Structures are given as C-alpha cells and as structure tokens.
Amino acid sequence: MESAMPDLPEAYEPTARTEPTRARERASYDRELVHSILDQAYVCHLGFVRDGAPVVLPTLFARVGETLYVHGSTGSRPLRMTGEADPGLPVCLTVTHVDGLVLARSAFHHSLNYRSVVVHGTAHQVTDPAEKRTALDALVDHAVPGRSTDSRPANAKELAATAVARLDLREVSAKTRTGGPNDELTDLTLPYWAGVIPVATEYGAAIPAADLSDATPVPSYLTGRP
C-alpha cells in the first residue's frame, strides 16, 4: 500500500475517542506508524451495534491511501447495514499484532509486546463499480502483493454477490508496547526467570493445489516471501 500523501500531516488529530485513559505514553497518532501496523495485518475486527447490542466480527480488509475497505457477501448483516441509511454504519475497527510474551517475576506484571490500531468512523457501502474493483484488487493484493494481476478477476455474477464497505482514516490511534518486564524493585531478587519470548509470523513453502498441473510453476512473488 502507498504511504501517506505528501500534503497530509504527519499525524492524525487526537479526539476524545482516540485518547487513551491508561498508558498514554504508549499511544501514537503518527500516520506512518498507523499505516505500517494496518498493512502488516491480514484480519481486522469490526465492531458495531446491531439491535441494541454490540457485535464484533473478524474480517479481511485492505488499505488504499487513507481508506480502509472490508468486504463480504451481499447477505452479510453489517455490509447491508452500511447501505441501509444515508449516514452509514458507525463502526470501530481494530487491528493487533502480538510481538512478544513478557514474563515478569510477579504474575501482576506479565504482559505482551504489541502493536495495535483503533479506527472510529462511519462505514459506507461502495456502489461505484470502478472503486469496488479497486477495493477488491486491494484486498487480494493485501494478502499476497501482485496476486490480483495473476488471477481471474471477479465476473459480473461474483461482483453482484459481493458487498464492499469503506471506512476513512480520520479518527485513528496506534498503541504499542516494547521492552522487557516492569518488575517491582522488591521483586528483582526473586528466583523466577523473567524476560521476553518473541512472537513472529512464519511463512512456509507454497503447497500446490491437488489438481494443479505439474507444469504450473510457483510464482516468484511466493517463493520470495519472507
């Protein structure tokens, strides 16, 4: 995904909903950091209110500039709700990466090293055909860069069965934790191991489909993945 446009400020403006009540030193509104956290995640959690009760759903997403796109079936309740009323659907979208397990000498100070983003806003259903195709290509390329040009595009029937919602990046914050445990000084002499267990995503070798021709090579964008 492309980085922030040159004419945009380097940081998002904090709001009452994006300013944390705890661990304020871990919060950031840096646009580049927010983009990097979003772009490295495959799944987001989309929260909204349905019939007076909160609902949170995991879903695929992609970023194009200052817009996030999520997709689903046209029968999906939240996707239908984004187009039911002109104001759209108020949502809260979150993404989290776990980078390490922080083990302290005391149970109270165990923690996680993490990177997270929270986006507040109103989701609107995408009705423009060109924008919808751009969004769907971005969703495919978000999972595997370059894949949208190396697969059959959605046909008219598939497009009609797919709904896409857009959420602009305006009310946004990131929060991160790094480093080791924050043990109490009185606990430093306790006989318990303390430190960090790193957590990282690992990609395995590509496994071909059972019905794939032996003559079909593995694309270079798959063999060169980290």
Residue 152 reports pLDDT greater than 60: yes
Residue 11 domain-assigned (yes or no): no
Identify the H or E element spanning 133.
Answer: helix 129-143
Q: pLDDT for 209-222, tens place per residue? A: 999 998 899 998 88
Q: Per the structure, how many domains does the chain have?
A: 1
The residue type found at 49 is: V
Q: Give the structural domain span for 131.
A: 24-98+114-183
69-86 average pLDDT score: 67
Nearest CA to 77 among 89, 94, 95?
89
User: Would you say residue 5 has pLDDT above 60?
Assistant: no
- Using 50, 70 and 90 to split pLDDT, how confident is the model at 4? very low
Average pLDDT across the chain, whole number:
90
pLDDT of 26 reads 87
Instruction: Report the predicted TM-score, pTM, of the whole model to 2 decimal places.
Output: 0.88
Inside any domain, residue 44: yes
Angstrom distance (rounded) from CA 140 to CA 137: 5
Distance CA 45, CA 81 (A): 16
User: Is the predicted pLDDT of residue 48 greater than 90, yes or no?
Assistant: yes
Distance, CA of 186 to CA of 143 (rounded, Å): 47
- pLDDT at position 73, please? 64
Helix and strand tally (H, E) in the chain?
5, 9
Min mean pLDDT across 18-27, 75-84, 208-217 is at: 75-84
pLDDT tens by residue, 101-142: 999 999 999 999 999 999 999 999 998 999 999 999 999 999
On whether residue 10 sits in a domain, the answer given is no
Which CATH number goes with the domain that contains 82? 2.30.110.10
How many whole angstroms separate alpha carbon 122 and alpha carbon 206?
38
Helix/strand/coil for 22:
coil
3-state secondary structure of 51: coil
